[in-house]
Structure 1
Amino acid sequence: MRGHRAVVGNAARVTVAACAAFSLCRYGLGALVMSLYAAFTVVALGALARIPGSGRQRAATTLMAVPAGTVLVTLGTLLAVRTWAAVFGMLVIGFMVAYAGIAGPRIAGAAPGMQLLYILPCFPPYAPDTLDQRVYGFLLGAALLAAAQVLVLPEPRTPSFPALLADAADAAAALADHHGGPAPERALARAHTAGDRLRPSRVPPADLPASPTLAHKAMAHASEAVRTLLSQLAALQRAAGAGGSFRAETVALLQAIGAAVREAADALRAGRGPLPSAAALQAELDPVRTRRAVAALERLGGDDRLVSLRRRALAVQAADSAVVLVLATRLLLGDRTVDENPAGHAFAYARVRAPVLWWRRLSTHFTPRSVIFQNACRFALGLAAARAIAGLLDLSHGFWVLLATLTLTRTTSLETRSVVRQALIGTLIGAVAAGVLLALVADRNTVYAAVLPVVMFSAFTVGPLRGQAWAQGGFTLVVATLFAQVAPVTWQLAPTRFADVLTGSLIGLACGVLAWPRGAGSELRRSMAGVCTAVADAVGRTAAQVVERTGGTGDTTGGSGIVALNRALLLAEESLAQYQSEPRERTARQPDWPTVLAAGAHARRGERLLPGRPGRIADRAVSGWLRQAAGQTADGYRALAERLCSGDADDPLRGDRPLDIRGLPAAAPPPPADENPPEAHTERAVSAALLVDSVIWLDTLTADLHRIRAELSAPPPRTG
């Protein structure tokens, strides 16, 4: 029902704004050109575009599109002088507008409508003298649509992303307040709900921090930290068992975590200072980290040694995540000095200028391996071909050809074929209905003016609810009713509309067949293999840095290594999102792709945190063991990458076993556990803490690798 209400609300907003704009220009001002541009602007940005968000968010996006829309209308008008100029402009502008989707869901949602703002004026007659009417019509249509989005059945507001972060931080604080006894089921359930609401698939698209701006990067960093914190605190509470209790130092650490994340929650809700501080938590954390590491290494001889390491590290890891959450909150609220904090090595991007951040995002997707790049090329080539054909054949309503190409081209040939078939059926029926309407009403504009709101509301309601056939049929009636009020038309407009849609459909079908016909399916395995390769490289780099400190701490987040891992994750996330949205003839069994992405996130978190920790693993035996263990984990991910690239189900996977630390006790005799150790012993204790953190990190990555391998090796499900 909520989806139905949203469709009805959007249809009402578009109908009110479009009819008001058209009637004002056509009958109030007598400006025919202006009336068409005003109405088509509303249709483009209100119906063709899919701008997400509340009423105010949609209105803001519409108004932000005004400068770019003005440029597009102007370029379309000026380049219509020659077919070759219009085609070249369509190629360049079509690519740029589609590629702009890298900026986030709101810009990506507006892109189809922005394409139409160039398509409409780039056809003969070449009339630069009407440019002012075209621009005024566009501005009026955008203004009325923005007003309608706020005033006419507006979409309700959703909690902002900082509010979701604050709720999750409060849920983490509630878990940290529990210091023993039965597991706090209510707090655990609240933590699960709060963490789940921060999943990218659950966040409303308009609120998702998906752009490369500093604020969005800080929000994404905070989200990763608080979700990790929630899972770590939940694991800590469950590990205590029924009736269990925590040691005094764990209780003190949990209290410091709770106080720090509550400060962060308060600041996130207020959107301003006072800024939260991690100083008290860090002062509590450092001695606990070293003491627990020493105690854990002393007990490595038991059979449960890895289980013991994990359990002893939970509270420390939770405190690390809480520190990152506090620093990310400070950065979000404007403190760009967070990288000066002892734990601020994860925030090297805090001082990077905005143009550099944007350039990284632009260059990341500028590759044939990006589904966004593929989609931009597919649409640009299709629209340019449609413009060339319409110009060479001198079609009287050539923009309908491009409109059909724009609306019917899909990311897979399978989906394009299905959509084209439905569209042609719907257009044929709509053309017959439009022909009857035009023949009966003739040139009586008052009838068309009375019918237009009903036809428009019905088309924009039934189309999204009933499918492409209904949408094309309804839009054919809308077009006929509009054009009949601008210039004398006959029933012959209807077959012209059908012929143009047929031409555009064939062009879209050709693009779907020739340009990456499998959609994201052809890239998904390659991009996930790229993540595995990047994880392997990150493991090797991090192990070398915690042993030798090569490259310094600044390189851990700002250098090419972490950038390459971020790039691989971004490409894989886009591929997976598109793949999941594409219909398929059969559902092939797929590996656990989210686990691959989780492994990439775990690798990134370790590469951000571990090299900046105090201490150095200088002992040759210990560093040799760590290098060997890291090498085995990295080799496992490289073998997995080869397997994913080849797609060979019979290709054996090598080294399918958990992290083996049996050789560590012999290589690393336990450091002394004196209450007041001398300086040399303190260095050894700090190194022990770094070693334990590194082992836990490798264990997490090895567990991820084991899950992915198990999924790949499992027999396919039985059918029939």
Structure 2
Amino acid sequence: MVPVFLREVFLFDVRGASGSGAAVPQEPLRAGGPGPAGGRLLDATAGRRRGADPDPLANSGEVSPLQGASPRSGPRRSAGGPAGAVLRRLRYLLEHGRHGLRGHRSVVGNAVRVTVGSCVAFYLCRYALGLTVMSVYATFTVVALGVLARIPGSGRQRAATVLTAIPAGLALVTLGTLLAVQTWAAVLGMLVIGFVVAYAGTTGPRIAGAAPGMQLLYILPCFPPYAPDALGQRLSGFLLGAVLLALAQRFVLPEPDTPPFCRLLADAADAAADLADHHGGPLPVEALARAHRTGDALRPSRVPPADLPASPSLTHKAMAHATEGVRTLLARLEALHTAAGPHDVYHPETVVLLQGISAAAREAADALRRGKRLLPGEGPSAAALQSELNPVRAHRAVDTLERLSADDRLVYLRRRSQVVQAADCAVVLALATRLLLGDRSVERSPAGHAFAYAQSHAHQLWWQRLTTHLTPRSVIFQNACRFALGLATARAIAGLLDLQHGFWVLLATLTLTRTTTLETWSAVRQALSGTLVGAVLAGGLLALVHDRDTVYAVVLPVVMLVAFILGPLRGLAWAQGGFTLVVATLFAQVSPVTWQLAPVRLVDVLVGSLIGLACGLVAWPRGAGREVRRSMAGLCSAIADAIGHTTARVVERSGSTDIFTINRALTLAQESLAQYHCELREETARQPDWPALLVAGSDARRGERLLPGRPGRITAHEVGAWLRHAADRTAADYRSLARHLRTDGEVAWDEARPLDIRALLAVAPAIARESPDRDTRALAAALLLDSVIWLDGLTADLNRIHKEM
């Protein structure tokens, strides 16, 4: 299963680029990279291409001692003989080992923390208190939440996540203990809990990262013997393990703290203010570089997953809204300045708007840095900018209508709209900043219709997020079903066959099941080879040491540390082999075991692997490969519907906004595309420019949020008819693309048709300056041209996709 927080990295890159009018180059995630050997090979070849020379004197002009030596002199003998050579080799290995460990600080630090936490828990319970059951649960809690889980964040954030998970962990251990009374009860519980825990990852990266470890908290107690009298030891062991892990995450080689996301937002807002302070003349190179740097820092591929505003809380929704606003603001200002000539002087109206943008962005940055809760009406104000924006928008609309006769390609309109759109984004940034700092009164602002969620209760926001993926077309729903089916099947087989260590079967199913059969088969092959080697080593260790617990107690931390370092660094085979040794060393201290424990572990992993492979074949075996086209087709249909809804509200002021539909389509498309990029494939077929389609979806959503609430009304029947006709044609083009995607290209699809500007001029003549209703007609013209530039942007998105296909 692809962790949700990894997918957020991809989808937020696309989401943040929405509104830019062009697809931002993406950085698709991969499930893995080249292996260590491949990495060394790449480094070596890269060094040769750069002309790197391992001899520091080669190009220094000095003569090496070996240069000019007689060929008859032969190789020089190593000083110190064989012993000296061995010592030098050991020093070399130790030095390079230290460099390598420093380069993988996060992996080594996590291995040390888990080893310290689990060993302290095990020794305390097993040898100090003499509580065997408690020792097992305390140790496996640390391993489950520290190794199997992938909790993101700094040491402080990881510790907080572990402590927050304690109530859910207590419930899972209790349910597992009580449902172990019968196999059918345990299987039914595994089916429900497996789905719920996996599906809960939709609510944020921390929950998604902890989900695999939380699954183990139910798996461990749901096997015989049915022992409700041992529930106290089990819960105590879990509590002890969780607290020790939290302390280790916080104080033992903790992950460093990262800059708060609000500070990144503030830096980007300051950069936007600096750009807005430029009013013409030479290109502001330094301000543009800072804008690019701060905007790039907001891309989720640059932000730690734990800091991403990805949860359904009101604060995170407002933070994501502010992120979209400030990134679009930076893109608009950059386009404005780079399109102008080096000696151009901006129109006074443009200067006024730029000054208002600068003031609003700087106020937002100051409020974000202070981070204080705001009362209604406090904080950055967008009122001054809005009062300047509305007359400029109306005046420019009148002026632009007079020039459309010579501008049927909308070049002039696009250029004139840059600063107006930038001002809109600055207003959104100011209001979103106030909302994320606690001021829910933003909905009363003239632009507050874009924040319809501001008055929603927390349970409504969480319910919307949870129900978004309750459809067979969601890859998250598919993954949750696949895992629940696999775990329930594994529990049923382990119970019916009365396997000695049945939880290893479920653990193998949990850790080896992937989103495609190709990935699952690759994981199974690696796991089986690693488990086989680990079983041989474990069998030898058990046969040699036998029942001498002292030896196992001494060896355990070493085995754990090595296994938890090599597993993440060397791959799945090393991880499985190392964990097999850890399990053997641990269980040998809990109860008398023989070398036969090793082949039992191998058989259980084989059974679990086959179950995972079978479930992968039954449940969506192609992963997101097929779903990405379906979800993108659904997004095209949602864009077409949004165009129709928005146009109806602009022209007729009738109907209602269905923002949830376009939001859901965008979310499903983003999730499926992110998973597709994370999946291993035999060959990569040429794909359409999916990010451009996601940008189109964000453009459609922004128009549906903003346009119906704009001042003005299109009263002329002919103008309204033209706008409806243009919107219908654009929507029809998106529906045609949807059919093309659903049929795998069997249905032909032509390039989108440009807007018929000459037909618009025939029904929308210029507004006379002495007209008594000039102000009213100017507002209507502004609303009309805002809608035109919105439809033009959607058409441009469609043509960009067409070129890629």
**TM-score interval (norm. to shorter):** over 0.9
Separation in structure 2 between the aligned mates of residue 154 and residue 87 of structure 1, nearest angstrom: 38
Q: Cα offset for 1:215? A: 0.8
Map 1:325-404 → 2, pairs under 5 A? 325-404=429-508
Structure-2 residue corresponding to 1:231: 331
C-alpha offsets along residues 663-694 of structure 1, whole Å, 9 cap, x if unaligned?
111110112345xx64x221100001101111
Are 1:617 and 2:714 an aligned pair?
yes
Contact map agreement 1:658 1:706 (CA 8 A) in 2 = no
Structure-2 residue corresponding to 1:654: 750
Structure-2 residue corresponding to 1:700: 793
Q: Cα offset for 1:597? A: 0.6
Q: Cα offset for 1:199? A: 2.3
Which of 570, 591, 611 in structure 2 is aligned with 1:507? Answer: 611
Structure-1 residue corresponding to 2:94: none
Structure-1 residue corresponding to 2:272: 172
Contact map agreement 2:739 2:747 (CA 8 A) in 1 = no
Structure-1 residue corresponding to 2:762: 666
In structure 2, the CA distance between the partners of 1:673 and 1:189, relative to structure 1 (3 Å rule), is farther
Are 1:457 and 2:557 an aligned pair?
no
Map 1:512-551 → 2, pairs under 5 A? 512-551=616-655
Separation in structure 2 between the aligned mates of residue 186 and residue 143 of structure 1, nearest angstrom: 49
Map 1:586-605 → 2, pairs under 5 A? 586-605=683-702
Larger radius of gyration: 2
Which of 571, 576, 579 in structure 2 is aligned with 1:472? Answer: 576
Q: Cα offset for 1:226? A: 0.8
2:405 alignment partner, SS class = coil
- The more displaced of 601-610 and 177-186 is 177-186
Separation in structure 2 between the aligned mates of residue 662 and residue 148 of structure 1, nearest angstrom: 70
Q: Cα offset for 1:205? A: 1.0
2:104 alignment partner, SS class = helix
Are 1:249 and 2:353 an aligned pair?
no
Contact map agreement 1:383 1:402 (CA 8 A) in 2 = yes
2:404 alignment partner, SS class = coil
Contact map agreement 2:730 2:752 (CA 8 A) in 1 = no
Which of 359, 382, 403 in structure 2 is aligned with 1:278? Answer: 382
Separation in structure 1 between the aligned mates of residue 211 and residue 308 of structure 2, nearest angstrom: 17
Separation in structure 2 between the aligned mates of residue 655 and residue 504 of structure 1, nearest angstrom: 50
2:757 alignment partner, SS class = coil
Separation in structure 1 between the aligned mates of residue 295 and residue 421 of structure 2, nearest angstrom: 17
Separation in structure 2 between the aligned mates of residue 605 and residue 194 of structure 1, nearest angstrom: 23
Separation in structure 2 between the aligned mates of residue 338 and residue 599 of structure 1, nearest angstrom: 27
Structure-1 residue corresponding to 2:782: 689
C-alpha offsets along residues 553-583 of structure 1, whole Å, 9 cap, x if unaligned?
xx33xxxx21000000011111111111111
Structure-1 residue corresponding to 2:307: 207
Separation in structure 2 between the aligned mates of residue 353 and residue 564 of structure 1, nearest angstrom: 19
Which of 634, 638, 649 in structure 1 is aligned with 2:735? Answer: 638
Structure-2 residue corresponding to 1:577: 674
Separation in structure 2 between the aligned mates of residue 3 and residue 38 of structure 1, nearest angstrom: 31
1:509 alignment partner, SS class = helix
Structure-2 residue corresponding to 1:20: 120
2:381 alignment partner, SS class = coil
Separation in structure 1 between the aligned mates of residue 756 and residue 682 of structure 2, nearest angstrom: 43
Contact map agreement 1:236 1:315 (CA 8 A) in 2 = yes
Contact map agreement 2:363 2:380 (CA 8 A) in 1 = yes
Which of 238, 244, 250 in structure 2 is aligned with 1:144? Answer: 244
- The more displaced of 203-212 and 303-312 is 303-312
Structure-1 residue corresponding to 2:360: 260
Structure 2: gaps (5+ residues): 1-99
C-alpha offsets along residues 533-558 of structure 1, whole Å, 9 cap, x if unaligned?
1111111111111111003xxx33xx
* TM-score normalized with structure 2 length: 0.86
Q: Cα offset for 1:3? A: 6.7
1:535 alignment partner, SS class = helix
1:153 alignment partner, SS class = coil
Q: What is the letter of the counterpart of residue 528 of structure 1? A: M
Contact map agreement 2:203 2:311 (CA 8 A) in 1 = yes
Map 1:275-314 → 2, pairs under 5 A? 275-303=379-407, 306-314=410-418
Q: What is the letter of the counterpart of residue 688 of structure 2? A: P
Separation in structure 2 between the aligned mates of residue 416 and residue 673 of structure 1, nearest angstrom: 71
Q: Cα offset for 1:303? A: 3.7
Structure-2 residue corresponding to 1:440: 544
Separation in structure 2 between the aligned mates of residue 480 and residue 533 of structure 1, nearest angstrom: 56
Higher RCO structure (Cα 8 Å, ≥6 apart):
2
Q: Cα offset for 1:635? A: 0.7
Which of 63, 68, 76 in structure 1 is aligned with 2:176? Answer: 76
Contact map agreement 2:408 2:758 (CA 8 A) in 1 = no
Structure 1: gaps (5+ residues): 713-720
Contact map agreement 1:63 1:142 (CA 8 A) in 2 = yes
Q: Cα offset for 1:654? A: 2.9
Contact map agreement 2:530 2:573 (CA 8 A) in 1 = yes
Are 1:426 and 2:534 an aligned pair?
no
Q: What is the letter of the counterpart of residue 571 of structure 2? A: G
Separation in structure 1 between the aligned mates of residue 752 and residue 352 of structure 2, nearest angstrom: 40
Contact map agreement 2:751 2:802 (CA 8 A) in 1 = no
Contact map agreement 1:181 1:242 (CA 8 A) in 2 = yes
Separation in structure 2 between the aligned mates of residue 672 and residue 172 of structure 1, nearest angstrom: 37
Q: What is the letter of the counterpart of residue 628 of structure 1? A: H
Q: Cα offset for 1:402? A: 0.4
Q: Percent identity?
A: 73
Separation in structure 1 between the aligned mates of residue 790 and residue 421 of structure 2, nearest angstrom: 10
Separation in structure 2 between the aligned mates of residue 640 and residue 118 of structure 1, nearest angstrom: 46
Structure-1 residue corresponding to 2:54: none
C-alpha offsets along residues 623-659 of structure 1, whole Å, 9 cap, x if unaligned?
11111111111111101111111112x6421353333
Contact map agreement 1:521 1:579 (CA 8 A) in 2 = yes
Separation in structure 2 between the aligned mates of residue 479 and residue 25 of structure 1, nearest angstrom: 17
C-alpha offsets along residues 196-226 of structure 1, whole Å, 9 cap, x if unaligned?
2222333221111111111111011111111
Q: What is the letter of the counterpart of residue 354 of structure 1? A: A
* TM-score normalized with structure 1 length: 0.96
Are 1:33 and 2:133 an aligned pair?
yes
Q: What is the letter of the counterpart of residue 583 of structure 2? A: V
- The more displaced of 374-383 and 618-627 is 618-627
C-alpha offsets along residues 673-716 of structure 1, whole Å, 9 cap, x if unaligned?
45xx64x221100001101111111111000000001111xxxx
Are 1:119 and 2:219 an aligned pair?
yes
Separation in structure 2 between the aligned mates of residue 200 and residue 611 of structure 1, nearest angstrom: 31
Number of residue pairs aligned between Structure 1 and Structure 2:
701
1:299 alignment partner, SS class = helix
Contact map agreement 1:294 1:672 (CA 8 A) in 2 = no
Separation in structure 1 between the aligned mates of residue 498 and residue 309 of structure 2, nearest angstrom: 45
Q: What is the letter of the counterpart of residue 733 of structure 2? A: G
2:471 alignment partner, SS class = coil
Q: What is the letter of the counterpart of residue 659 of structure 1? A: L
Separation in structure 1 between the aligned mates of residue 112 and residue 570 of structure 2, nearest angstrom: 17
Q: Cα offset for 1:158? A: 1.7
Which of 51, 59, 63 in structure 1 is aligned with 2:163? Answer: 63
Q: Cα offset for 1:55? A: 0.7
Structure-2 residue corresponding to 1:717: none
Contact map agreement 2:212 2:510 (CA 8 A) in 1 = yes
Following superposition, which runs of at least 4 residues in structure 1 exceed 6 angstroms of deviation? none
Structure-1 residue corresponding to 2:92: none
Contact map agreement 2:149 2:212 (CA 8 A) in 1 = yes
Q: Cα offset for 1:304? A: 5.9
1:180 alignment partner, SS class = coil
C-alpha offsets along residues 211-263 of structure 1, whole Å, 9 cap, x if unaligned?
11111110111111111111111111112221111011211110110011110
Which of 284, 287, 303 in structure 2 is aligned with 1:184? Answer: 284
Structure-1 residue corresponding to 2:509: 405
Separation in structure 2 between the aligned mates of residue 133 and residue 19 of structure 1, nearest angstrom: 18
Separation in structure 2 between the aligned mates of residue 311 and residue 160 of structure 1, nearest angstrom: 36
